[in-house]
Structure 1
Amino acid sequence: MPDSGGEPTGEPILPDGGGDRNDSVLVLNPVSGNGDHREQVRGLADGAGFTVLETREPSEAVAFGRLAAAAGAERVVAAGGDGTINEVARGLDAADAFGEVTFGVVPTGTGNNFASNLGIESVEHAFELLADGERRRIDVATADGELFLNSCIAGLTAEASASTSPELKGRLGVLAYVLNGLRTLREFDALPLAVDADCPAADRTWSGEALMVLVGNARRFPAEGRAQSDCEDGLLEATIVERTPPADLLQETAIHRLFGDETEHVTTLQASELRVEVRRDEPVGFSFDGETSSHGSLTMATGEKTVELPVGENYEPTPD
């Protein structure tokens, strides 16, 4: 689930902190994750010279990101889950500021998948990296103009995420998604899709009924091991899981190949551009970094090395 949604009620005003404090702006979602991080983040941000903009309305993080860039901020940081990070990035994109601004991530959400892929381990670690961590430029993906940094998913995984309540996430953390996925599987109808990919070697097509489609920009979808994809190669990493008897799916999971090497029921590919067409009248919900919208078709692409961010020691520029 996204950290917020909808439209802001009004244009926020960037406070005048005096001196050069507005050169560094942190957008804080105080209710992401279990909501216990507000004072810690504000204290660290104040000590590091950030102006803090705290969201109170749905999608206000988009407006704050746009406003911070327009005010000339050199560093704009998102403190929240994947949804908040996505929103602040969308604000920077709307201001056409990716070339001038260093973006930063402070993980305070439930899963913090994007931060993990950047090698950011905690709130404290994030501020250490903001001070003197290595900077890398990573890809930014779009799907019909909708920006995503980490992943775009549809099918069973997206359905489970969208139906997981904030209360359940707060009590169980990542386990909440797993439990909801098991419940959703019993009621899920496969998606009739056609996929056309511009791959490095040759174009590839796929059509059929999919249990899920998982497209990663910073995220890879393995059964085990690291989840980071190559964030700097200008390619999306896609996995299509076909509808198949549960016994076959369990067998492939058991040999650790479900989201790795291609198998009979799983297609994996890398593509600079990916087109997905829904072959039914009803549109499908696609989750962009946890923020869901419905589409009858999508064209996804990447902007290679678009945004600069601090990364941790575990970030791999060229992962295996």
Structure 2
Amino acid sequence: MVNESGSETSAESVVVLNPVSGDGTHVDPVREQSAVRGYGVRETESAGDTASLTKEAIDAGATEILAAGGDGTVNGVVSGVVEADALDAVTVGVLPCGTGNDFAENVGISDIEQGFDAVETGERRRIDLGFADEAPFVNSCVGGLTAESSAETDPDLKDRFGSLAYVITTLKTIPSFDGIRMTVTLSDEADGPSVWSGSAIAVLIGNARRFPPGGSTAANVEDGRFDVTVVEGDGSMGLLETGTVERLFTQDTERTHRFRVPSLDVEVHADESAAFSLDGEVVERTALSVRARQQALDVAVGPGYDPDPAGAGK
């Protein structure tokens, strides 16, 4: 089979390539490695292509799909796998080609060659998959205040904070932010539900990542639980009291509330909806139900993958 880009498409192993991820220098290396190793290539042309190309490849018989791009590309591939109802039949691989590559780092993949090697000779692990309503996410769901566009977000900030960088960038450009009134209901089979209600800058829901004040951001992604951080804030004076905007997300204060739960519901008490970033893909909601499906996704991981990172459960 030959796809629209002229590349032969393998029936079993397919690379879904986002040519505009990162700085674009990955395109030729990915094409070359795919040709040498016998992988088919399907290239995205517009937003939304990733999921549909993934589903098409699965319908054509693919059992290994490699996401060549950033976290948004990984999210699109996983969405396609979910849409194809193929979570039990497909392995997802990651070729890190974006700016931050948070998910790739958290599953031990540091470069393109290592991503290919992981699919061919590496370990396979079944990891948790998050769902925000019906939409899947693998790395994180960041809710609250999100930048309208990534164009104004510094690449170095994205390297450090991933999709959270958009929240930080937006806060820095707003002279006064009153926070978003919300109620977060957190469910736990052992202890029962608990409720946090107040004015928040953001609610940070980590699946493969967490949001600690320091150290590793990798989370235990096989335990069926989210690492949740609510950052409380009620106006520009509140921001000044805690110092710079970045310190709100890098230091534990009385404004930082942390939980580890398998599910939660977020209700926004405002006239307008709030933004929620699912692995960098933004949706607008006034309410969101978030659930973890334990060990639902088969992923090819790298040698640096740690299923239980030190301190992730603390």
Same fold (TM > 0.5): yes
RMSD: 2.8
1:203 Cα shift?
A: 1.6
- Could you say which residue in structure 1 is the equivalent of 2:110? 121
Describe the shift of the 1:303–1:173 C-alpha distance in structure 2 as closer, same or farther (beyond 3 A): closer
Distance 1:43 1:287, change over 3 A: same
Q: Determine what percentage of the aligned residue pairs are the same residue.
A: 37
1:264 matched to 2:257: no
Deviation readout 1:176-235 (Å, 9 max, x if unpaired): 948735523534330100000012433211000001110011110012211111101111
Query: 1:1-320 residue pairs with structure 2 within 5 A?
Result: 17=8, 21-156=10-145, 159-160=146-147, 162-165=148-151, 174=159, 177=165, 180-181=169-170, 183-199=172-188, 200-243=190-233, 245-246=238-239, 248-250=241-243, 258=251, 263-319=253-309, 320=311
Amino acid at match of 2:269: R
Q: Normalized against structure 2, the TM-score is what? A: 0.87
The answer for unaligned runs of 5 or more in structure 2 is none
Change (3 A) 1:144 1:171: closer
For 2:242, what is the secondary structure of its paired residue? helix
Q: Match of 1:79, SS?
A: strand
Q: CA deviation at 1:147?
A: 0.9
Q: Counterparts of 2:187 and 2:249 in 1: how far apart (Å)?
A: 27
Quote the residue 1:9 is aligned against. none
- The one-letter code of the counterpart of 2:104 is A
Q: How many residues align?
A: 300
Q: Alignment partner of 2:223: what SS? A: coil
Question: Higher mean Cα deviation, 212-221 or 237-246?
Answer: 237-246
Q: For structure 1, list consecutive stretches of 5 or more residues without a partner in the other structure.
A: 1-11
CA contact (8 A) 1:213 1:239 kept: yes
Distance 2:270 2:20 in 1: 37
CA deviation after TM superposition for structure 1 residue 163, in Å: 2.9
Alignment check: 8 A CA contact 2:93 2:116 kept: no
Give the conservation status (yes or no) of the 8 Å contact 2:172–2:245: no
- Per mean C-alpha deviation after superposition, the further-off stretch among 27-36 and 236-245 is 236-245
Question: Using the alignment, how far apart are the partners of 1:77 and 1:147 within structure 2?
Answer: 17
**CA drift at 1:46:** 1.3
Mapped contact 1:218–1:230 kept (Cα < 8 A): yes
* 1:133 CA displacement: 1.1
Distance 1:52 1:256, change over 3 A: closer
Distance in 2, matches of 1:148 and 1:121, equals: 20
CA distance in structure 1 between the partners assigned to 2:248 and 2:83 by the alignment: 44
Taking the aligned partners of 1:148 and 1:214, their CA distance within structure 2 comes to 13
Paired with 1:62 and 1:209, the residues of 2 have a C-alpha distance of 35
* Partners of 2:83 and 2:4 in 1: CA distance: 17
